Structure 1
Amino acid sequence: MRAGRKLRLLARFHNTVFVLLILALAGMIGYLSQRYSRQWDVTQNADNSLSRASVGVLKQIRGPVVITAYATPSAPRIGNLHQAIRKIFAPYLRANANITLRFIDPTRQPRQTRAAGVKINGEVVIRYDGRREYLTTLNESQITNALMRLARGQAPLIFYLSGHGERKLDGVANFDLGAFGRRLKTQGFKMSALNLSIAPAAPTNTRLLVIAAPQVNLLPGEMKKIHAYIKNGGNLLWLLDPGPLHGLQPLAEQLGLILTAGVVYDPAAGRLNLPPDMALGISNDSHPIMRHFNLITVFPDARRISTNDARGWRATPLIDTAQGGCVTTSPVTSDFQCDPKRDAAGPVAIAVALTRQVENRTQRVVVVGDGAFLSNTFLGNGGNLDLGLHIVNWLSHDDRFIAIQPHALKDARLDLTPLAGRLIGLSYLVILPLLFLAGGIAVWRRRRMR
Structure 2
Amino acid sequence: MKKIIKIAKLELSLLFYSPIAWLILVIYIIQCGVTFTDLLYSRETNQQLGATLESLTIDIFGGNKGFFAAVQEKLFLYIPLLTMGLMSREFSSGSIKLLLSSPITITQIILGKFTAMMAYGLLLASVLLGVILAGSISIDHIDFGFVLGGVLGLYLLICAYSAIGLFMSSLTSYQVVAAISTLAVFAGLKFVGNIGQSIAYVRDVTYWISIDGRADNFINGLISSKDVIYFILVIGLFLMLTIMRLNSGRKISTTAEKALRYCLLVVMVLLAGYMSSVPVFTDYYDTTRFKDRTLTTESQNIIKKLDAPVTLTSYVNILNQYAHLGSPKFRNFELRQFDQYLRYLPDLKINYITYYDSTMNINLNDPGKTLEDRAKRSATAYGYEFETILSPAEIKKQINLIPEENRFVRMVEYKGKTTPLRMFADTYVYPHEAEITAALKRLINKPAIIGILSGNDERSIVKTGDKAYQNITTSISSRSALMNHGFDILDIAIDTCQKIPDSLSVLVIADPKSTFSPEQIKKIDTYIASGGNILIAGEPGKQSLLNPLVKQFDVSFNDGTLLQKSEKLELDLIQSHAAEKATNNGFILPEKWIITLPGAVAINYGNNNGYKANPILLANKPDSWNKIGSFNLETQKVAFDPKTEKKAAFVVAVALTKKFPKKEQKVLIAGDADFMSNAELSRFNIRNANFDFVVQLFKWFSNGEYPINTTRPDAIDNKITISRQGINWLKILLLWVFPITIGITGSITLIRRKRK
Task: Name the SS for the 2:675 alignment partner.
Answer: helix
Aligned to 2:417: 131
Find 1:176's aligned residue among 468, 478, 481: 468
SS in 1 for 2:490: strand
Equivalent of residue 689 in structure 2, options 383, 389, 400: 383
Secondary structure of 1:253's counterpart equals helix
Match of 1:159 in 2: 451
CA 1:241/1:66 → structure 2, altered by over 3 Å: closer, same or farther?
same
> Which amino acid is 2:449 matched to?
L
Give 1:208 deviation, angstroms. 1.9
Per-residue CA shift, 1:372-398, capped at 9, x if unaligned? 222233232333233223222321324
> Residue 334 of structure 2 is aligned with which of 85, 92, 111?
85
Q: Hey, what's the Cα distance between the residues in 1 that align with 2:492 and 2:284?
A: 54
Deviations 1:208-267 (A, max 9, x none): 211111111111232222222212211101011122434443322201103211222223
1:410 alignment partner in structure 2: none
Residue type matched to 1:256 in 2?
A: D
Is 1:61 aligned with 2:275? no
What is the alpha-carbon distance in structure 1 between the residues aligned to residue 304 and residue 326 of structure 2?
37
Q: 1:321 to 1:405 in 2, by over 3 A?
A: farther
More strand by share: 1
Distance 2:594 2:495 in 1: 39
Report Cα offsets for 1:428-448 as digits up to 9, x if no partner.
xxxxxxxxx999987643232
CA contact (8 A) 1:124 1:136 kept: yes
Alignment of 1:304-319 (within 5 A): 304-319=602-617
- Whole-Å separation in 2 of the counterparts to 1:159 and 1:71: 29
How far apart, in 2, do the equivalents of 1:77 and 1:402 lie? 27
Q: Which residue of 2 aligns with 1:291?
A: 588
Contact 2:420 2:439 in 1 (8 A): no
**Structure label with greater radius of gyration:** 2
CA contact (8 A) 1:263 1:302 kept: yes
Match of 1:342 in 2: 644
Return the letter of the residue paired with 1:62: K
Do the aligned partners of 1:281 and 1:299 also contact (CA within 8 Å) in 2?
A: yes
After superposition, residues 210-229 of structure 1 pair within 5 angstroms as 210-229=508-527
Please point out which of 233, 248, 259 is paired with 2:531. 233
Q: How does 1:273-292 map to 2 (within 5 A)?
A: 273-284=568-579, 286-287=583-584, 290-291=587-588
TM-score w.r.t. the length of structure 1 is: 0.70
Of 250, 255, 258 in structure 1, the residue corresponding to residue 553 of structure 2 is 255
Structure 2 Cα separation of the partners of residues 287 and 373 of structure 1: 22
SS of aligned partner of 1:312 = coil
Query: Offset at 1:326?
Result: 1.7
After TM superposition, give the deviation of residue 178 of structure 1 in Å: 2.4
Q: Partners in 1 of 2:550 and 2:346 — Cα distance?
A: 48
Identical amino acids, percent of aligned pairs: 20
Contact 1:213 1:371 in 2 (8 A): yes
Instruction: Note if 1:446 corresponds to 2:751.
Output: yes
Deviations 1:92-136 (A, max 9, x none): 456xx346555558799x89xx99979999975544465334556
* Aligned residue in 2 for 1:394: 700
TM-score scaled by length of structure 2? 0.44
Q: SS state of the match for residue 377, structure 1?
A: helix
Q: 1:366 to 1:77 in 2, by over 3 A?
A: closer
CA distance in 1, matches of 2:699, 2:617: 17
Letter in 2 for 1:304: A
Relative to structure 1, is the Cα distance of residues 100 and 288 closer, same or farther in structure 2, using a 3 angstrom cutoff?
farther
Deviation per CA, 1:305-326, whole angstroms, max 9, x where unpaired?
2211111111122111223122
Extract unaligned runs of 5+ from structure 2: 1-8, 17-114, 126-150, 157-222, 230-282, 317-323, 354-383, 390-394, 475-480, 713-741
Q: 1:145 to 1:398 in 2, by over 3 A?
A: same
2:681 is paired with a residue whose SS is coil
Work out the CA distance in 2 between the residues paired with 1:210 and 1:163.
Answer: 13
Unaligned runs of 5+ in 1: 1-11, 407-436
In 2, distance between residues paired with 1:192 and 1:123? 21
By how many angstroms is 1:177 displaced? 2.0
Q: 2:661 aligns with which of 339, 345, 359?
A: 359
SS at match of 1:174: coil
The secondary structure found in structure 2 opposite 1:286 is helix
One-letter amino acid of the counterpart of residue 155, structure 1: P
Q: Do the aligned residues in 1 keep the contact of 2:311 with 2:351 (CA within 8 Å)?
A: no
Query: Structure 1 counterpart of 2:671, which letter?
Result: G
The amino acid that maps onto 2:303 is I
Deviations 1:185-208 (A, max 9, x none): 222333333344443332223222
Query: Aligned partners of 1:196 and 1:105: how far apart in 2?
Result: 41
1:326 correspondence with 2:625: yes
Structure 1 pair 247–445 and aligned structure 2 pair: CA distance change class (3 A): closer
- Aligned partner of 2:501 among 164, 187, 203: 203
Relative distance call for 1:292 and 1:69 in structure 2 (3 A) is farther
Q: Give the CA RMSD over aligned residues.
A: 4.8
